[in-house]
Chain A
Amino acid sequence: MSAAEGTTHGHASVYRRVLRRETHVSRSGAVVVAMLLTLVTAAAVVFAAVLVLLDQNVLGVEPRAVVDAAARAPRGLETTVVVGIGAIVAIVGLVLLLQGVLPQRRPRHTMPSRRLAVVVDDEVLASAAARAARSATRLGPDAAVGTVGRRTVDVVLRPAAGVDVPAVAASDAVTAEFAEIDAKPSLAARVRVQPTGRVDG
């Protein structure tokens, strides 16, 4: 009966998990790079160990001699080469570390729904905002530009020179649209009319 219980109680935990995953960036690219580096290192270590155990060397390089040279550092090593390689390794490590530690959000919002888990790209919200602002005016399709941040939605109206724009009506239309959308995290709407008019053909 657990399936029936799941349906009556909705899918809260599945939805929470899905929405968290959909609003954050997957690190799989960085993970693949890190694991390939690890694999190459592991292969080199295994190769070196096998060489020693079989008492062989490759191109006159003997793993035991390499260990001795490293143990004598900094004597007998070229400073610029070591510092250069060390810096590169440290930077790669720092990048991978930050990739793993930083929370990386996607430019997306979620919307509440009684049945679905919904994520919306910010670009879609921006275009809906532009359309809403324009619908309250008599401007052409490219006269309104919307921008959506994490907590704000900005619409810039750029009317042709001499055209009067009902800015309050446009602002109300955007606010009404976003009250209906009810995006999480919530968005505060702002409409500006760009005073420098365009000249349309």
Chain B
Amino acid sequence: MNATNRALGRAALVVVGLVLLVLGVAAVLVQTVPWAASLWQDLARGLGDLGADASREDSVTAWTWVLGGGVLLGVLALVVLSSLGGGRVGTVVEDDGSAEGVAGTVRIDAAAVQHALSSAIGALPSVASLAVDVYRVRGARAVRIRVRPRRGASPRALTRSVEEVVTDLDALLGERLPVLLEIARGGSGSGREDRVH
């Protein structure tokens, strides 16, 4: 649920994958197939300026382009890397209530919502452990509740209980935040049976 730009990541994977695949296959073909070798040698004449036989001026111009290309490539890679992760935020609601004409702002920290939800949901008998985080999704705040239920717990009953808790939270905040409930496997205590069915 983090802010990773997945479309960008997949596009980068496709581009890098294609380039490596083409380079690898081309290297094998040039080395083993005669027509590929002659094709390559025709093409490689265009690399003359990068070679040792070129004049100093041609050489400097050609390698300056190479330098620029390398720097550009590195910057692009860093841009893609920096798009990974992030998106967790510390504030759930920030409202200056300007419509009412009263000075001051109300800010509700993520920690308040985390504590409220944790104590309410953690008290449910079918919950073994849980984690609550607040993320930024499309400019809005969204809460993720990750619950690890005990073995055999009914997902529908659990969902219904969490719905009730979240409805209470809505009343408390005066705002209906988007909430993701993730019912995950494993975790401490989940091996133990729910004792009352």
Q: A-side interface residues toward B, CB under 8 Å?
A: 3, 6-7, 10-11, 13-15, 17-19, 21-22, 26-28, 30-32, 34-39, 41-46, 48-50, 52-53, 62-65, 67-68, 70-74, 77, 79, 82-83, 85-101, 111, 113-121, 123-125, 127-128, 130-132, 135, 141, 177, 180-182
B1 adjacent to A21 (CB under 8 Å): yes
Closest Cβ of chain B to A111, distance in Å, is 6
Contacts of A42 on B, CB cut-off 8 Å?
A: 70-71, 73-74, 77
- Take A18-B1, A18-B142 as given contacts and tell me if A86 and B19 are in contact as well, using a CB distance cutoff of 8 Å: no
* The one of A17, A99, A135 that contacts B138, using a Cβ cutoff of 8 Å: A17
The DSSP consensus for interface residues of chain A is helix
Q: How far is the CA of A182 from the CA of B157 in the complex (A)?
A: 12
The DSSP consensus for interface residues of chain B is helix
Task: Mark B24-50 against chain A: 1 for CB-CB distance below 8 A, else 0.
Answer: 111110111000010011001101001
Q: How far is the CA of A48 from the CA of B175 in the complex (A)?
A: 58
* The one of A27, A53, A96, A124 that contacts B153, using a Cβ cutoff of 8 Å: A124
Q: How far is the CA of A62 from the CA of B54 in the complex (A)?
A: 14
Q: Which of B63, B71, B84 has the most CB of A within 10 A?
A: B63
Contacts of B9 on A, CB cut-off 8 Å?
A: 27-28, 31, 100
- Take A38-B77, A94-B17, A131-B197 as given contacts and tell me if A71 and B47 are in contact as well, using a CB distance cutoff of 8 Å: yes
Minimal Cβ-Cβ distance residue in B for A122: B185
B24 adjacent to A90 (CB under 8 Å): yes
B44 adjacent to A131 (CB under 8 Å): no
Contacts of B20 on A, CB cut-off 8 Å?
A: 37, 89-90, 92-93, 96
- Take A14-B138, A83-B28, A128-B153 as given contacts and tell me if A118 and B159 are in contact as well, using a CB distance cutoff of 8 Å: yes
A53 adjacent to B179 (CB under 8 Å): no
Q: How far is the CA of A19 from the CA of B178 in the complex (A)?
A: 12
A91 adjacent to B178 (CB under 8 Å): no
* The one of B23, B66, B142 that contacts A93, using a Cβ cutoff of 8 Å: B23
